[in-house]
A and B are shown apart, each in its own frame.
Chain A
Amino acid sequence: MAFENLTEKLSRIFKKIRGQARLTESNMDEMLKEIRVALLEADVNYKVVKEFINNVKEKAIGQEVYTKLNPSQMITKIVHDELETLLGGGENEIKYQANKPTVILLVGLQGSGKTTTAGKLAYLMKNKLHKKVLLAAGDIYRPAAIDQLEQIAKSIDVPLFKKGTDVSPVEISKEAKALAFNDHYDVLIIDTAGRIAIDEALMEELNQIKKVVDFTPC
């Protein structure tokens, strides 16, 4: 699981300050330095780390951590809250459209797991959120991508819209959207081919798809 190293390091840091009767400015600085190193080692972007540390420091001073009876718990709470904001905070759930299908367009690099995730998403939405889901196979470039999605769709019992590899993804998406609308699906998940962001032709294709499926932010 992710964050293993980070968890370990952070708990070691917190354990250290727990042993101290009170928190002074100097050992607080030292602790923050250690947290910074831990975050950087966990591959967090340095700009993010810098802001994170500043925020923690500011909050800690603002809340008069030094005079609190149990400073280490206070610090843990501040770090926890900051991590939460960093990860998004609040509700992140998808807002589903009321009267038309919610379209999810999966984009990303080759091999990042779009087709697999399409299946997983369909499974989650069908079985846990009780939505009516339609999958659309929009990857016409990679050999057997459609077959792969077909196998997944069959195993989780979700309908799949496919048109073979001779139709353009834009056309496929358009028809899939129309079908999803007419048959009252709640969610349409479109799998696309992997691509890199500097490939302008392929990125343009995605923009086209976005347009034809009448994409609304969710």
Chain B
Amino acid sequence: MSGQDAVNVAKAFNDSLSLTGVIISKLDGDARGGSALSIRHMTGVPIKFSGVGEKVSDLDIFHADRMADRILGMGDVMTLVEKVQEEVDEKEAKKAANKMMSGKFGLDDMLAQMRQVQKLGSLGGLLKLIPGMPKISPEQQAIAEKEMRNFEIIINSMTYEERHNPSIFQYSRKIRVANGCGKQVSDVNRVLKKYEQMKDMMKQMEQYKKSGRMPPGMPPGFGGMR
């Protein structure tokens, strides 16, 4: 975060101690990041790690090629894949995928999937790793994250029966759920609509899978993310 000064400090320390590696901490807080680009060249000391957040897990091994990709806005699929492998339970994911494909896809499955995505970190940070994804502003991100939370709240207020078979929802049930979680009936409707959309998409995916083609306009593997 100290900009040019970081390079001078590293140089000074290197002169008296001859360092063997540099860790760039607080890289997330620095919108410019020029020191990261200069430090290797000016000191000759390789960058080993970079700190990208406050949590104890927010330290990455530094990969020059991936960072270059990211600087040029080309995304960073490698890091995304690693993240997914670390955080997502493979068995669980397979089970969910099977469930989706078989058409038995309930609201709590949708919730479980959303939680898996949330585990990967902030939405904005995630989108940055996917090449060609549109950038979203912090406001949009906040709205999306709030919506996710609302979904969770609303789905948690439903009965088991309702979650597994949302077609039983009539007006009275919606009112009950809305009152139960302190939301409006329109919010409940939105959740149900999203669920229907997702279900439709699953059906399409299944058909595409059968015919062996990819759905138009969707990067492979990202069906069902929205």
A residues sitting closer than 8 Å to B (CB atoms) are: 1-8, 10-11, 14, 39, 41-45, 47-48, 51, 76, 79-81, 83-90, 92-94, 106-109, 112-113, 116-117, 119-121, 123-124, 128, 152, 155-156, 196-198, 203, 206-207, 210, 217-218
Contacts and interface: CB of A to CB of B under 8 A. Distances in A.
B40 interface: yes
A90 B111 CA distance: 41
A106 B21 CA distance: 10
Given A45-B41, A88-B40, A88-B62, 11 more contacts: A2-B33, A3-B33, A6-B33, A7-B73, A42-B33, A48-B41, A90-B64, A92-B61, A94-B21, A107-B19, A121-B59
Nearest to A11: B73
B56 interface: yes
A100 B71 CA distance: 38
A54 to B, nearest CB: 13
B17 A107 contact: yes
Contacts of A203: 16-17
A43 B51 contact: no
B13 A197 contact: yes
Contacts of B223: none
Interface string B141-169: 00000000000000000000000000000
B34 A1 contact: no
Contacts of B15: 197
A69 B62 CA distance: 34
A7 B71 contact: yes
B203 interface: no
B56 A2 contact: no
A1 B64 contact: no
Interface in B49-69: 49, 51-52, 56-59, 61-65, 67-69
28 contacts: A1-B28, A1-B125, A6-B34, A6-B71, A11-B73, A45-B7, A45-B41, A48-B38, A86-B41, A87-B36, A88-B46, A88-B47, A88-B64, A92-B21, A92-B63, A106-B23, A109-B2, A116-B25, A117-B25, A121-B23, A121-B49, A123-B57, A124-B61, A155-B56, A156-B56, A196-B9, A197-B9, A218-B20
Interface string B54-96: 0011110111110111111110000000000010000000000
Contacts of A218: 20-21
Interface string B11-43: 011011101110101111011111111101110
Most chain A CB atoms below 10 A, which of B9, B34, B40, B65 = B34
Given A39-B34, A156-B56, A217-B20, A113 B25 contact: yes
In the complex, which range does the number of interface residues on chain B fall in?
35 or more
Contacts of B46: 88, 92
Contacts of A128: 86
Interface of B: 2-4, 7, 9, 12-13, 15-17, 19-21, 23, 25-28, 30-38, 40-42, 46-49, 51-52, 56-59, 61-65, 67-74, 86, 125, 128
B19 to A, nearest CB: 8
B22 to A, nearest CB: 9
Contacts of B86: 128
B52 A43 contact: no
B85 to A, nearest CB: 11
B68 A198 contact: no
Contact of A84 (B21, B59, B64): B64
A134 to B, nearest CB: 17
A107 B36 CA distance: 17
B73 A108 contact: no
Contact of A89 (B36, B42, B64): B64
A87 B16 CA distance: 23
Nearest to A1: B28
Given A3-B70, A44-B34, A94 B48 contact: yes
A164 to B, nearest CB: 24
